[in-house]
Protein backbone atom coordinates (compact mmCIF):
# COMPACT_ATOMS: atom_id res chain seq x y z
CA UNK A 1 0.00 0.00 0.00
CA UNK A 2 1.31 3.44 -0.92
CA UNK A 3 0.13 6.91 -0.01
CA UNK A 4 -0.49 9.03 -3.10
CA UNK A 5 0.43 12.31 -1.47
CA UNK A 6 3.78 13.54 -0.10
CA UNK A 7 2.15 14.83 3.11
CA UNK A 8 -0.61 13.59 5.40
CA UNK A 9 -2.78 16.56 6.38
CA UNK A 10 -6.31 15.16 6.88
CA UNK A 11 -8.68 12.35 5.94
CA UNK A 12 -10.75 14.53 3.61
CA UNK A 13 -10.55 13.12 0.11
CA UNK A 14 -9.17 9.71 1.10
CA UNK A 15 -10.96 6.65 -0.29
CA UNK A 16 -12.15 3.70 1.77
CA UNK A 17 -9.42 1.63 0.13
CA UNK A 18 -6.72 4.08 1.24
CA UNK A 19 -8.05 4.24 4.82
CA UNK A 20 -8.33 0.47 5.12
CA UNK A 21 -4.80 0.21 3.71
CA UNK A 22 -3.54 2.39 6.58
CA UNK A 23 -5.52 0.34 9.12
CA UNK A 24 -4.09 -2.93 7.79
CA UNK A 25 -0.57 -1.49 7.95
CA UNK A 26 -1.26 -0.40 11.54
CA UNK A 27 -2.46 -3.90 12.35
CA UNK A 28 0.93 -5.27 11.23
CA UNK A 29 2.62 -2.67 13.41
CA UNK A 30 0.51 -3.65 16.41
CA UNK A 31 1.82 -7.22 16.16
CA UNK A 32 5.26 -5.81 17.05
CA UNK A 33 3.91 -4.80 20.48
CA UNK A 34 3.61 -8.46 21.50
CA UNK A 35 7.28 -9.25 20.85
CA UNK A 36 9.89 -9.33 23.59
CA UNK A 37 11.88 -6.71 21.65
CA UNK A 38 9.32 -4.11 20.51
CA UNK A 39 11.47 -2.59 17.80
CA UNK A 40 12.13 -3.16 14.08
CA UNK A 41 14.79 -1.65 11.78
CA UNK A 42 12.25 -0.36 9.23
CA UNK A 43 13.22 3.33 9.39
CA UNK A 44 16.86 2.95 10.39
CA UNK A 45 18.76 5.91 8.94
CA UNK A 46 15.61 8.04 8.63
CA UNK A 47 15.05 11.20 10.69
CA UNK A 48 11.71 12.27 12.18
CA UNK A 49 11.33 15.80 13.61
CA UNK A 50 8.50 16.47 16.05
CA UNK A 51 7.55 20.18 16.07
CA UNK A 52 5.02 20.53 18.87
CA UNK A 53 4.00 24.17 19.29
CA UNK A 54 0.93 23.31 21.39
CA UNK A 55 0.83 21.41 24.70
CA UNK A 56 0.45 17.66 24.21
CA UNK A 57 1.04 14.54 26.26
CA UNK A 58 -0.53 11.63 24.38
CA UNK A 59 0.09 12.66 20.80
CA UNK A 60 3.68 13.82 21.31
CA UNK A 61 4.74 10.76 23.32
CA UNK A 62 2.88 8.50 20.87
CA UNK A 63 4.73 9.94 17.85
CA UNK A 64 8.02 9.79 19.74
CA UNK A 65 7.53 6.12 20.64
CA UNK A 66 6.25 5.23 17.17
CA UNK A 67 9.37 6.65 15.48
CA UNK A 68 11.71 4.95 17.96
CA UNK A 69 10.00 1.56 17.53
CA UNK A 70 10.77 1.87 13.82
CA UNK A 71 14.42 2.73 14.66
CA UNK A 72 14.26 6.28 13.24
CA UNK A 73 16.37 9.11 14.65
CA UNK A 74 14.02 11.49 16.48
CA UNK A 75 14.32 15.19 17.30
CA UNK A 76 11.55 16.80 19.38
CA UNK A 77 11.22 20.58 19.59
CA UNK A 78 8.70 22.61 21.57
CA UNK A 79 7.76 26.22 21.02
CA UNK A 80 9.48 27.31 24.24
CA UNK A 81 12.71 25.56 23.25
CA UNK A 82 12.79 26.93 19.69
CA UNK A 83 13.93 30.22 18.15
CA UNK A 84 10.25 31.04 17.51
CA UNK A 85 10.26 32.77 20.90
CA UNK A 86 13.04 35.02 19.48
CA UNK A 87 10.93 35.93 16.46
CA UNK A 88 11.84 33.18 14.00
CA UNK A 89 8.98 32.00 11.78
CA UNK A 90 7.56 28.49 11.88
CA UNK A 91 8.74 27.92 8.31
CA UNK A 92 12.32 29.01 9.08
CA UNK A 93 12.40 26.67 12.07
CA UNK A 94 11.10 23.80 9.93
CA UNK A 95 13.59 24.55 7.13
CA UNK A 96 16.42 24.48 9.67
CA UNK A 97 15.32 20.98 10.63
CA UNK A 98 14.92 19.99 6.99
CA UNK A 99 18.49 20.86 6.05
CA UNK A 100 19.55 18.52 8.86
CA UNK A 101 18.13 15.79 6.59
CA UNK A 102 14.70 15.39 8.17
CA UNK A 103 12.61 12.85 6.26
CA UNK A 104 9.32 13.53 8.09
CA UNK A 105 8.27 16.68 9.96
CA UNK A 106 5.45 16.04 12.43
CA UNK A 107 3.77 19.32 13.36
CA UNK A 108 1.21 20.38 15.94
CA UNK A 109 0.21 24.03 15.86
CA UNK A 110 -2.63 26.21 17.13
CA UNK A 111 -3.25 27.76 13.69
CA UNK A 112 -5.49 25.90 11.19
CA UNK A 113 -3.56 25.27 8.00
CA UNK A 114 -0.11 25.30 9.61
CA UNK A 115 0.62 21.71 8.57
CA UNK A 116 -0.47 22.28 4.96
CA UNK A 117 1.59 25.47 4.81
CA UNK A 118 4.71 23.57 5.84
CA UNK A 119 3.87 20.76 3.44
CA UNK A 120 3.63 23.21 0.55
CA UNK A 121 7.02 24.71 1.38
CA UNK A 122 9.16 21.75 2.48
CA UNK A 123 10.58 18.87 0.51
CA UNK A 124 10.31 16.62 3.55
CA UNK A 125 7.02 14.84 4.20
CA UNK A 126 4.76 16.67 6.67
CA UNK A 127 2.42 14.83 9.03
CA UNK A 128 -0.34 16.79 10.74
CA UNK A 129 -0.49 16.13 14.50
CA UNK A 130 -3.31 18.65 14.99
CA UNK A 131 -3.75 22.16 13.61
CA UNK A 132 -6.01 24.37 15.69
CA UNK A 133 -9.68 23.35 15.42
CA UNK A 134 -9.16 22.17 11.82
CA UNK A 135 -7.97 18.55 11.79
CA UNK A 136 -6.42 15.77 13.84
CA UNK A 137 -6.15 12.91 11.34
CA UNK A 138 -4.05 10.49 13.40
CA UNK A 139 -6.50 10.70 16.34
CA UNK A 140 -9.38 10.03 13.94
CA UNK A 141 -7.55 7.06 12.43
CA UNK A 142 -6.82 5.54 15.82
CA UNK A 143 -10.51 5.98 16.74
CA UNK A 144 -11.53 4.27 13.49
CA UNK A 145 -8.87 1.58 13.94
CA UNK A 146 -10.24 0.80 17.43
CA UNK A 147 -13.79 0.36 16.11
CA UNK A 148 -12.58 -1.73 13.14
CA UNK A 149 -10.41 -3.88 15.39
CA UNK A 150 -13.34 -4.58 17.74
CA UNK A 151 -16.38 -4.61 15.45
CA UNK A 152 -15.13 -5.17 11.89
CA UNK A 153 -15.91 -3.10 8.80
CA UNK A 154 -17.36 0.35 9.41
CA UNK A 155 -20.00 0.32 6.66
CA UNK A 156 -23.43 0.69 8.25
CA UNK A 157 -22.09 1.09 11.79
CA UNK A 158 -23.83 3.79 13.85
CA UNK A 159 -21.28 6.08 15.48
CA UNK A 160 -22.31 8.85 17.88
CA UNK A 161 -19.95 11.78 18.51
CA UNK A 162 -21.10 13.80 21.48
CA UNK A 163 -19.90 17.09 22.92
CA UNK A 164 -18.04 20.13 21.66
CA UNK A 165 -18.25 19.45 17.93
CA UNK A 166 -17.68 23.08 16.92
CA UNK A 167 -14.20 23.33 18.45
CA UNK A 168 -13.12 19.75 17.84
CA UNK A 169 -10.52 18.89 15.23
CA UNK A 170 -11.03 15.26 16.28
CA UNK A 171 -14.72 15.37 15.32
CA UNK A 172 -13.98 17.03 11.98
CA UNK A 173 -11.42 14.39 10.96
CA UNK A 174 -13.58 11.56 12.29
CA UNK A 175 -16.50 12.74 10.18
CA UNK A 176 -14.44 12.71 6.97
CA UNK A 177 -13.00 9.27 7.69
CA UNK A 178 -16.21 7.63 8.85
CA UNK A 179 -18.20 9.01 5.90
CA UNK A 180 -15.61 7.58 3.50
CA UNK A 181 -16.10 4.17 5.11
CA UNK A 182 -19.91 4.27 4.90
CA UNK A 183 -20.69 4.66 8.62
CA UNK A 184 -23.81 6.44 9.91
CA UNK A 185 -22.66 9.45 11.92
CA UNK A 186 -24.70 11.03 14.68
CA UNK A 187 -23.70 14.27 16.39
CA UNK A 188 -25.11 15.44 19.71
CA UNK A 189 -24.46 18.43 21.94
CA UNK A 190 -25.71 21.91 22.80
CA UNK A 191 -26.87 23.79 19.68
CA UNK A 192 -24.14 26.36 20.36
CA UNK A 193 -21.50 23.63 20.00
CA UNK A 194 -22.83 22.15 16.73
CA UNK A 195 -21.70 23.92 13.51
CA UNK A 196 -24.64 25.36 11.56
CA UNK A 197 -25.48 23.38 8.43
CA UNK A 198 -23.34 20.38 9.39
CA UNK A 199 -26.22 18.11 8.30
CA UNK A 200 -25.30 18.93 4.71
CA UNK A 201 -22.14 16.86 5.19
CA UNK A 202 -24.32 13.77 5.55
CA UNK A 203 -24.54 13.47 9.34
CA UNK A 204 -27.55 13.37 11.69
CA UNK A 205 -27.81 15.95 14.48
CA UNK A 206 -29.52 15.26 17.82
CA UNK A 207 -30.25 17.52 20.76
CA UNK A 208 -31.56 14.72 22.99
CA UNK A 209 -28.65 12.53 24.08
CA UNK A 210 -30.91 9.66 25.18
CA UNK A 211 -32.46 9.54 21.70
CA UNK A 212 -29.03 9.75 20.07
CA UNK A 213 -27.68 6.80 22.07
CA UNK A 214 -30.33 4.35 20.80
CA UNK A 215 -28.82 1.55 18.74
CA UNK A 216 -25.33 2.98 18.36
CA UNK A 217 -22.30 0.74 17.89
CA UNK A 218 -19.89 3.24 19.43
CA UNK A 219 -20.13 6.54 21.28
CA UNK A 220 -17.12 8.86 21.06
CA UNK A 221 -17.29 11.40 23.90
CA UNK A 222 -15.42 14.65 23.34
CA UNK A 223 -13.82 16.93 25.89
CA UNK A 224 -15.39 20.31 26.55
CA UNK A 225 -12.71 22.69 25.25
CA UNK A 226 -13.28 25.78 27.38
CA UNK A 227 -9.88 27.13 26.31
CA UNK A 228 -11.09 27.43 22.68
CA UNK A 229 -14.32 29.23 23.57
CA UNK A 230 -14.17 33.02 23.48
CA UNK A 231 -17.35 33.20 25.58
CA UNK A 232 -19.55 30.81 27.50
CA UNK A 233 -21.53 28.69 25.05
CA UNK A 234 -23.66 26.86 27.62
CA UNK A 235 -24.95 27.90 31.04
CA UNK A 236 -22.71 25.80 33.29
CA UNK A 237 -20.67 22.61 33.50
CA UNK A 238 -23.26 21.30 35.96
CA UNK A 239 -26.02 21.72 33.40
CA UNK A 240 -23.87 20.23 30.64
CA UNK A 241 -23.21 17.19 32.83
CA UNK A 242 -26.93 16.77 33.47
CA UNK A 243 -28.00 17.14 29.83
CA UNK A 244 -25.11 15.54 27.93
CA UNK A 245 -22.80 13.73 30.35
CA UNK A 246 -22.53 9.96 29.91
CA UNK A 247 -23.27 8.34 33.24
CA UNK A 248 -24.06 4.81 34.34
CA UNK A 249 -27.79 5.19 33.68
CA UNK A 250 -27.22 6.34 30.12
CA UNK A 251 -24.65 3.59 29.58
CA UNK A 252 -27.34 1.01 30.38
CA UNK A 253 -29.21 2.05 27.22
CA UNK A 254 -26.26 1.00 25.04
CA UNK A 255 -26.04 -2.36 23.30
CA UNK A 256 -23.79 -4.76 25.27
CA UNK A 257 -21.19 -4.78 22.49
CA UNK A 258 -21.23 -0.99 21.96
CA UNK A 259 -17.93 0.78 22.54
CA UNK A 260 -17.36 3.75 24.85
CA UNK A 261 -14.58 5.99 23.51
CA UNK A 262 -12.87 9.25 24.45
CA UNK A 263 -9.86 10.85 22.72
CA UNK A 264 -8.60 12.33 26.01
CA UNK A 265 -7.77 14.14 28.09
CA UNK A 266 -11.00 13.44 29.98
CA UNK A 267 -12.94 15.79 32.20
CA UNK A 268 -14.17 13.10 34.58
CA UNK A 269 -17.44 14.08 36.18
CA UNK A 270 -18.33 16.44 33.32
CA UNK A 271 -18.65 14.75 29.90
CA UNK A 272 -18.03 11.24 31.31
CA UNK A 273 -18.38 9.64 34.73
CA UNK A 274 -15.48 7.59 36.07
CA UNK A 275 -17.55 4.40 36.38
CA UNK A 276 -18.26 4.64 32.64
CA UNK A 277 -14.70 5.56 31.64
CA UNK A 278 -13.36 2.57 33.58
CA UNK A 279 -16.11 0.10 32.60
CA UNK A 280 -15.75 -3.04 30.48
CA UNK A 281 -17.32 -1.27 27.50
CA UNK A 282 -14.66 1.42 27.59
CA UNK A 283 -11.83 1.12 25.03
CA UNK A 284 -10.18 4.40 26.03
CA UNK A 285 -6.85 2.84 27.04
CA UNK A 286 -6.85 0.72 23.86
CA UNK A 287 -7.26 3.91 21.84
CA UNK A 288 -4.00 5.18 23.32
CA UNK A 289 -2.15 1.96 22.44
CA UNK A 290 -3.65 1.90 18.94
CA UNK A 291 -2.41 5.46 18.45
CA UNK A 292 1.18 4.24 18.47
CA UNK A 293 0.37 1.62 15.81
CA UNK A 294 -1.39 4.18 13.58
CA UNK A 295 1.52 6.63 13.85
CA UNK A 296 4.02 3.87 13.11
CA UNK A 297 1.99 3.01 10.01
CA UNK A 298 1.91 6.59 8.75
CA UNK A 299 5.61 7.21 9.42
CA UNK A 300 6.38 4.00 7.54
CA UNK A 301 4.12 4.92 4.62
CA UNK A 302 5.57 8.44 4.38
CA UNK A 303 9.26 7.80 5.06
CA UNK A 304 9.70 4.15 4.25
CA UNK A 305 8.02 3.87 0.86
CA UNK A 306 11.11 2.39 -0.70
CA UNK A 307 11.66 0.06 2.25
CA UNK A 308 10.38 -3.43 1.58
CA UNK A 309 7.82 -4.95 3.92
CA UNK A 310 10.38 -7.56 4.99
CA UNK A 311 11.87 -4.84 7.17
CA UNK A 312 8.95 -5.39 9.56
CA UNK A 313 10.08 -8.95 10.20
- Spell out where 223-308 has E strands: 259-261
For 120, residues 6+ apart whose C-beta sits below 8 A from its C-beta are none
Task: DSSP letter for 34, please.
Answer: T
Binding residues: 58-59, 86, 108, 136, 139, 169, 223, 264-265
For 119, residues 6+ apart whose C-beta sits below 8 A from its C-beta are 6, 7, 9, 125, 126
Binding residues for L-aspartate: 86, 169, 223
Closest CA to 244 of 181, 295, 193: 193
3-state secondary structure of 197: coil
Task: DSSP letter for 193, please.
Answer: G
Question: Is beta strand 184-188 parallel, antiparallel or unpaired with respect to 204-206?
Answer: parallel
3-state secondary structure of 30: helix
Residue 99 burial by Cβ neighbours in a 10 Å radius (0-12, 13-18, 19+): exposed
Residue 136 CA: distances (Å) to CA of 17, 207, 212, 285: 20, 25, 24, 18
Binding residues for carbamoyl phosphate: 58-59, 108, 136, 139, 264-265
Q: Phi/psi at 289 (nearest 5 deg)?
A: -65, -40
Amino acid sequence: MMLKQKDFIDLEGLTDEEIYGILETASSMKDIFTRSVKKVPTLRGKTVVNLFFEPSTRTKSSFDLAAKRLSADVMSISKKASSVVKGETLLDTARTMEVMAADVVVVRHSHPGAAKYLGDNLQAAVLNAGDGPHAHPTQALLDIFTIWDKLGELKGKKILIIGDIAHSRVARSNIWGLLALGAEIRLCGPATLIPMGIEQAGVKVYQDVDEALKGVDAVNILRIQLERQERGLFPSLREYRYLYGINKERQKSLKPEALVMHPGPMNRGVEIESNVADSKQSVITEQVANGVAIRMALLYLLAGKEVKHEALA
